[in-house]
Chains A and B, each alone.
Chain A
Amino acid sequence: METAALVVVLVIALALFFDFTNGFHDTANAMATPIATGALKPKTAVLLAAVLNLIGAFLSTEVAKTVSGGIVREDAISKMGAEVFLPLIFAGLIGAITWNMLTWLLGLPSSSSHALFGGLIGATLVGVGATGIDFGMVLSKIILPAVIAPLTAGLIAFAATKIAYGVTRRYDGKPDGRSGFRWGQIFTSSLVALAHGTNDAQKTMGVITLALITIGWQSGAHHEPQLWVIVACAFTIALGTYLGGWRIIRTLGKGLTEVKPAQGFAAESSTAATILASSALGFALSTTQVASGSVIGSGLGRRGATVRWATAGRIAIGWLLTLPAAGGVGALAALLVIWLGTWGVAIDAVLALVIIVGLFMYSRRNEVTHANAMSDVAESGLAVDQPEVPGPTRRATRIELMRALERAERKADEAERAARRAKKLKKVGASPAEVKAAKRAAQKAADKFAEAERAAQEWELLSASRKERAKLAEWDIAVDEQEDAR
């Protein structure tokens, strides 16, 4: 029992460390957009993110219940006993942290949440077998939300961006007041930080609660996390967020993609709404992936945007890889426990220590590279290619067409009048010079009429064809080349 108690303490410590790295890693996700658009000063953004993560952690416990009471079958745990199952949770956590650190070092897109679930599932599969996992729950509360949530967020962000631009668009060239979205971004990015605290802090609460239930310090009938667990997780994620922010301040301005305030506002609203709605129903999704989905969706919501499939594919592969890869590492750590018993736990603990020290040393490095300068969310913005100046809207071309038609009509009248005048002058016997001048004027008016008619035809073609309108977009070739080189 003493060994089991010691392992519980180790699990709690490691889970809290995971919580800390989660906050550390994800500050950028909530705050990259408002910093990029200049809505918030980096220091203010980081402090705000930390405070709201803290508050968010207290809002709901549905996700924690999913983790503590859904993934692993309790009958399997009780059959095995706490002494065997607790080291498996420990091994799962090691799998999660190792994979997180590896992806961070290599600059691969990943998700802390899926690393955690992958680690836990991998360790349980090896230690208990397939009967230990509630696959229905894993599919409906983890895997399907993982696939659906970023798509949902992307679709909503796409629609929200269209609304934001559509409602504020002006056709008379007067100011549209879109920079006012910068104020709004302060609130929406705060909502994202709040949502992050609500969903991500709960995952750690769930793991700790699972350990407490396994050892019998908490009744299996209640999967709600205890108050001290909530408080500890809330403060740890807030601390991680705050300290992670300093890394962002250091690397700020390097590798942020350009986001317009209206677009950022729409993307953040969509991220916050999707995460909060999912948290309320107990879906344990990846906040990084949802925020990335929103950034891509809102980018596509802007006129003339196209998807860079190579970048999008790389991101998607990183996402798909996380769960099985972390599962593999978790399974390896669990194998050590199964083969070597207490010695296995000790080796796992040493491995965890090495990883933690390594992570700490790495975070102290001042070098700014592709891997640490950019958050996954900011990077996902690169999956969308946007023209510097998009082509005209359909309505704008229709307005221009009306103007061109009016002009053509006017010019037709003028040409007819000039031709009549030339004829009249010839009839009344005016001097040849006068007639010549009148003929020249008539020819000029006719040319202008033809020109106006050509312009009207061009506008007609533009208003009928989206492709033709897109051809008028102006692309910044220098920026594209720079991005391709990167």
Chain B
Amino acid sequence: MISIDWIAFLNVFGAALLGAGSIVLFYALGLRMLVRAGRVPVVTPVEFTDAITVLSEKEIRRAAKQAEKAARKSPLSEGQKTLAFVAAIACFALCALAVIGGILLIVVGH
């Protein structure tokens, strides 16, 4: 009689969903908070491959300008901006913790 441990598959699904979900959620929240704090990240591709069809140097310059304008016109007070920045850092830290915690679970757990 072949016995299959279906619970193990559910465990993998749950653990992977929790891991990937929390990494993406915290990272995205971190980015959102950075934008709120008036520090919109404009990250230029290190190399323009032919896969990058939606972005050109000119568009990046425009994006940087827009980010600067949005930061200037932000209705938030300096205190609120600092708070958003701290929240962004906290989100990135939680994201890193999720990664480190996951790896530790694998290494220490076995």
Contact = CB atoms under 8 A, between A and B. Distances in A.
Interface residues of A, number: 75
Nearest to A184: B27
A152 interface: yes
Interface in B33-84: 34-35, 40-55, 63, 66-67, 70
Contact of A163 (B13, B28, B54, B109): B28
Contact of A179 (B2, B19, B41, B99): B41
B75 to A, nearest CB: 11
Contact of B34 (A177, A198, A279): A177
A3 B50 CA distance: 54
Contacts of B32: 167-168, 177
A239 interface: no
B23 A273 contact: yes
A178 B41 CA distance: 8
Contact of B53 (A41, A160, A163, A258): A258
Nearest to A38: B45
A120 to B, nearest CB: 19
A479 B50 CA distance: 12
Interface residues of B, number: 53
Contacts of A38: 44-49, 52, 55
Contacts of A37: 45, 51-52
A125 to B, nearest CB: 17
B103 interface: yes
A335 interface: no
B46 A274 contact: no
A281 interface: yes
Nearest to A294: B20
B21 A42 contact: no
A171 to B, nearest CB: 13
A210 B50 CA distance: 45
Contacts of B24: 160, 163-164, 265-266, 269
A470 to B, nearest CB: 20
Given A36-B51, A40-B46, A177-B32, A188 B106 contact: no
B17 interface: yes
A167 B25 contact: yes
A318 interface: no
Contact of A187 (B9, B25, B43, B99): B99
Given A144-B4, A144-B9, 7 more contacts: A35-B49, A38-B46, A59-B107, A170-B35, A177-B67, A265-B27, A269-B23
Q: Which 5 A-B pairs have the closest CB atoms?
A: A38-B45, A180-B41, A167-B28, A273-B19, A256-B51
